Amino acid sequence: MKSAPFEHYEPTTTNEATSLLESLDDPTILAGGQSLVPMLRFRLANPDVVVDINGIDSLDYLREEDGYLKLGALARHADVEDSDLIDERYGSFADTAPLVADPQIRNRGTVAGSVAQADPKGDWGSVLLAHEGEIVAEGPDGERVIPADEFFLLPYDTTLGEDELITEVRIPTPEPREGSAYHKLKRKTGDYAMAGVGARLVLDDDGRIETAGIGMTAVDITNAQATDAEQHLEGERPSADLFETAGELAAEASNPESDEHGGADYKERMVDVLAQRALGDAAERAGAVRRKVTQ
């Protein structure tokens, strides 16, 4: 089906975009279009006005700055996938990018658009939650920084205002002993997650877990944080036993629904397993070293 007719604007600066969003009636932002275009075609979205932000070159970046890894609103999944900086320093981002959709969609879809879409099956929201990430939005009252854990409300619903533009998503740059990872279970390559878990661990000088972050995909009404599991990890030394309990706590915190891909029980069990794997990778990448079990 064709989408309903709409008016179409192509701002080239953030200022131009925000004043359009403020002055127009019920505008919809178009970024990569990989979620919005199908919604328009099914007429699940019927905006009168579409503001295409792809011409705002200043939003096309992925860089470290002021203690953050910053992704401008036009950073595409493929930009993350192809980045050496990401490969070297951000395990969870390097894990996630190639697992999002397929190559064609990764060439167009943006990380910020994916976060704005707030699909509970979207992968990036979980990664942001695990990293204590932030969403930077520009609106009529200027800039607003929204912590990821205050962003997601319901499926496809966030605390972002209708006249606000996400200009950037960001996470703190890694601590000296930090590691992160993302594990995703899907039916076939290119599919949305049946379940996914992102984990971030920061170790102190003594090798204990100083900070733990766990974000979960597709197992609740939004991307969700496994707070109990995080608290259980903090102050402890990484170990298989510890991660086993954390996995169980994450599974308990999850709230999956049965569907054609699997029952709720099965998905909870998968959260447990994926959390253990993500924590294991995160710990290893943080410099914790795997011990050979000989005895």
Partner 1 sequence: MTDETEITLTVNGTEHTVEVEPRRLLVHAIREDLDLTGTHIGCDTGNCGACTVLKDGEPIKSCLMFATQADGAEILTVEGMEDLPAADDDLHPLQEGFREEHGLQCGYCTPGMLMAGKALLDENPEPEEDEIREAISGNLCRCTGYQNIVRSIEYAADELDARAATDGGAVAAADGERSADAGGEADTFCGLEDCCGGPDASGGDHAGDQFEREYLGGEET
Residue 166 or 282 having the CB closest to ligand FAD = 166
Binding flag, residue 181, partner 1 (CB under 8 A):
yes
Instruction: Please identify, among the stretches 27-35, 125-133, 141-149, 253-261, the one whose residues bind partner 1 according to the rule CB under 8 A.
Output: 27-35
Cβ atoms of residues 76 and 61 within 8 Å:
no
**Which stretches of the chain bind ligand FAD, using CB under 6 A?**
28-36, 38, 73, 100-101, 105, 109-110, 112-114, 116-117, 122-124, 165-166, 192
Binding flag, residue 146, partner 1 (CB under 8 A):
no
Cβ atoms of residues 197 and 256 within 8 Å:
no
Q: Is the dihedral of CA 58, 8, 154, 122 positive or negative?
A: negative
d(CA 240, CA 117): 35
- How wide is the angle at C-alpha 123 spanned by C-alphas 63 and 192, nearest 5°? 140
Per-residue x/- marks for partner 1, 120-139, CB under 8 A?
Answer: --------------------
- Per DSSP, the residues of 47-63 read -SEEEEGGG-GGG--EE
Q: Which does 10 bind (CB under 5 to 8 A by kind): ligand FAD, partner 1, none?
A: partner 1
Rg from Cα positions in the chain: 19
Binding flag, residue 269, partner 1 (CB under 8 A):
no
Among 102, 143, 157, 234, binds partner 1 (CB under 8 A): 102
Q: Which does 252 bind (CB under 5 to 8 A by kind): partner 1, ligand FAD, none?
A: none
- How wide is the angle at C-alpha 117 spanned by C-alphas 161 and 226, nearest 5°? 100
Binding flag, residue 103, partner 1 (CB under 8 A):
yes
Binding to partner 1 (CB under 8 A) within 187-246 occurs at 188-190, 203, 205-208, 237-240, 242-244
Which of 214, 181, 170 has the alpha carbon at shortest distance from 286?
Answer: 181
Among 17, 71, 75, 99, binds partner 1 (CB under 8 A): 99
